[in-house]
Structure 1
Amino acid sequence: MQRFGWLVALVFLTGLTTPVQASAAAREPLRCATELDCTAAEIDLMTMAQRLDFLRALQSGPAAELGASDRWRNIEGVIAFFRDRGLGAPGTWVSHVDAAILEGVERGIAIALGRSTDGFGNPGSARWAAYLTALSRGELTTRDAHDRAWGEAEQASTEHGVALAERVHGLRPTTVERRFFQFSELYRWTLRNRPVAQDLLLLYGVLVHPQLAVGRVSFLDWFTDVSESAPSYKGCAIAYSYARLDPISGTIGTVELLLLYLPELFGEFRATR
C-alpha cells in the first residue's frame, strides 16, 4: 500500500506539471504577442518564421500603443536571414540568444504599458521599457539619443541571452557563429556610439571610398535605421559570408572590424540611392 501511495502521488504530480508544459509548448506567436508573458524558454521553441510573426504582431499590436509600430524592423531582418539560411533551430546557442532578445522586447512593452512590473529576470526588459516610455513621450528627438537608448536595451538583452545559452544551457557558439556575433556586436556598438562612429568614418572612410567620408551621416542613418529590415538583412548576409570564409583570426578591434565590412556595406548603401 505504501508503494502504491507513492505511485498515486507521482501520477498526481505528473498530472499537475504536464498540462503546464504542454501549454507552454503549444503557445502561438500571436497569443504571445497579445498576452505579453511568453518566456525566453517558450520563445526558444518557436521556429524563426514563428518569431518573425511574433515580432511583427508585437509591433502592430501592443507596441503601436506606445508609438513603436516599426521600432524592431531591423531585428526582423536578422530573423528573416536566420529563417532563410536555416540557422537558429530551437535549443541552439543562436536560438537562446535570440529568444532572450525577443523576451526583453516583449516584457519591455508589457512594463511600459503598465501591464506588469516583472522583467522575467531579463535586464533588457527594464531598458526596453525605459526606451519605449521615453519614445512615447517624444523625448528621443535626435538620432544619437534614440539609437543610444535602443542599442543599450538590445545589448542588455543580448548579454542576458548569451548568459542563458552558455551558463544555463551549457552551450557554446560554433566558430562561424562566434565570428558572426562579432558583427552584431559592432552593430550595437555603432548604435550606442554614433558620434564616435562618425569620427571613425571621417578618418578611415576614405580608405574604402572617397564618398564615404563625405556621406558618412547618411550611411550611418541607413545602416542603423531600426525601422528598416533591408540593411540588417544585407549586413547579416555579408557578415555570414565573411564568417564562413574565416577572414577573422582571433579578436580584432572595432576599427579593424569596421574596415572589414565597410566596402560591401557601403556598396549596398550606394545601391539604394
Structure 2
Amino acid sequence: MLALVAGLVAPVPALAEVRTPGQCAASLDCTAAEIDRMAMADRLEFLRLVQSGPAAGLGAADRWRNIEGVLSFFLDHGLGAPGTWVSHVDAGILEGIERGVALALGRSADDFGNPGSARWADYLTRLHRGELTVRNVHDRAWSEAEQASTEHGAAVAEQVHGIAPTAVERRFFLFSEFYRWTLRNRPVALDLLLVYAALLNPVLVVRRVPFLDWLTDVRESAPSRKGCEIAYAYARLDPVNGAFGTLDLLLAYIPELYEEFEATR
C-alpha cells in the first residue's frame, strides 16, 4: 500500500527550488507539488505560457482556455490556496497537461506518475495529425485526458495528503464532473437539452446545437468561468442536500448559461 501511494507523486523539490511560471512552462517538468505551492495567478500565467509556448507547436495554443476560466474563477474568489483539496486537484490537472506536452514533443518519457500525462500526449499527437476535426471525437479525447488528470489530483489530495473535500467542494466538483460528462456524451447531452427545452425553453429546441458548441468549446474561457459561478452558488446552497441526477444538474445549470450564451450572440 505504501508503495502504491508513493507512486502517486513525483519527487518533491526543496522549497528553495520552486520555479517561476515561465521556468515551468519552458522546462515542462515542474511537479504537482511545485504547482500546488503556486499562487492561483501564477498557475494561470503558467498555463497560458504552456499554450503560447511549447503547446503551440502541436496546434494547441488555445486548447485549455476553458481551464483558464476555472483558474480565473478561483483567483477572483480566493479559492485553491496551496495545500487545500482544490489546490491538489488543480495541480494534478496542470501537471498532466504539462507532462502531456512534454511527452508529445518527445522531450521525456516520464509521466510523473500522472495517468493524465499519457492521455494528454495522445490527445495532442492526434490533434497535431489532424485526427480530431470531428467535434464529438475531439471533445471525448479532451475530456478523457482531463478526467484522468483530475482523478489523479484527487487521489493525491486524499490518499497522499489525507485531505478530503469539504461539502461545498464536493458539490462544486459534481458540476465539473457533469461538464466532462457532457464533453464525452454529446449525442445524449443534445437529447437532454431537447427534454429541457420541451419543459422550460422551447427556443432551445432549434438553438441547442450552437448552445452546446459554445458551452463545450475548450477554446473559450467565458462558458467555464460563468459555469463556475453558477456551480459554486448552487454548491453553497446545498440544493436537495447535494443529491443530483443528470437531468437535475441540467435543469439547475442550463438556464443562466443559456442567458450568457444569448448575450454573446
Q: What is the TM-score normalised by the length of structure 1?
A: 0.91
How far 1:54 sits from its partner (Å)? 0.2
Q: Is 1:112–2:82 an aligned residue pair?
A: no
Q: Is 1:153–2:137 an aligned residue pair?
A: no
Q: Is 1:65–2:76 an aligned residue pair?
A: no
How far 1:160 sits from its partner (Å)? 0.5
Alignment counterpart, residue 188 of structure 2, candidates 181, 196, 199: 196
Q: CA–CA distance in 1 between the matches of 2:196 and 2:224? A: 22
For residues 40-119 of structure 1, the aligned pairs below 5 Å read 40-119=32-111
How far 1:159 sits from its partner (Å)? 0.5
For residues 204-215 of structure 1, the aligned pairs below 5 Å read 204-215=196-207
The one-letter amino acid of 1:196's match is: V
How far 1:248 sits from its partner (Å)? 4.1
Q: CA–CA distance in 1 between the matches of 2:168 and 2:39? A: 21
How far 1:271 sits from its partner (Å)? 1.2
Secondary structure of residue in 2 paired with 1:68: coil
Alignment-derived partner of residue 165 in structure 1: 157
Question: RMSD in angstroms over aligned alpha carbons?
Answer: 1.0
How far 1:41 sits from its partner (Å)? 0.4
How far 1:88 sits from its partner (Å)? 0.4
The one-letter amino acid of 1:216's match is: R
Alignment-derived partner of residue 31 in structure 1: 23
Contact 1:202–1:214 under 8 Å retained in 2: no
Q: CA–CA distance in 1 between the matches of 2:264 and 2:85? A: 33
For residues 206-245 of structure 1, the aligned pairs below 5 Å read 206-245=198-237
Bigger-Rg structure (1/2): 1
Q: CA–CA distance in 1 between the matches of 2:43 and 2:240? A: 30
Alignment-derived partner of residue 181 in structure 1: 173
Q: CA–CA distance in 2 between the matches of 1:64 and 1:249? A: 43
Contact 1:55–1:76 under 8 Å retained in 2: yes
Q: CA–CA distance in 1 between the matches of 2:140 and 2:39? A: 30
Q: CA–CA distance in 2 between the matches of 1:254 and 1:118? A: 37
How far 1:211 sits from its partner (Å)? 1.2
Q: What is the TM-score normalised by the length of structure 2?
A: 0.93
Q: Deviations over 1:178-221 (max 9, x none)?
A: 11111100000000111111111112223231111221110111
Q: How many residues align?
A: 253
Contact 1:179–1:248 under 8 Å retained in 2: no
Q: Is 1:251–2:243 an aligned residue pair?
A: yes
Q: Deviations over 1:209-240 (max 9, x none)?
A: 11112211101111011001111001100111
Contact 2:99–2:117 under 8 Å retained in 1: yes
Secondary structure of residue in 2 paired with 1:226: coil
Give 5+ residue unaligned stretches, structure 1.
1-19
Task: Single out whichever of 207-216 and 244-253 deviates more from structure 2.
Answer: 244-253
Identity rate, percent = 72
Give 5+ residue unaligned stretches, structure 2.
1-12
- Evaluate the alpha carbon distance shift between residue 53 and residue 79 of structure 1 in structure 2; reply closer, same or farther with a 3 A threshold: same
Contact 1:124–1:156 under 8 Å retained in 2: yes
Contact 2:171–2:242 under 8 Å retained in 1: no
Contact 2:40–2:71 under 8 Å retained in 1: yes
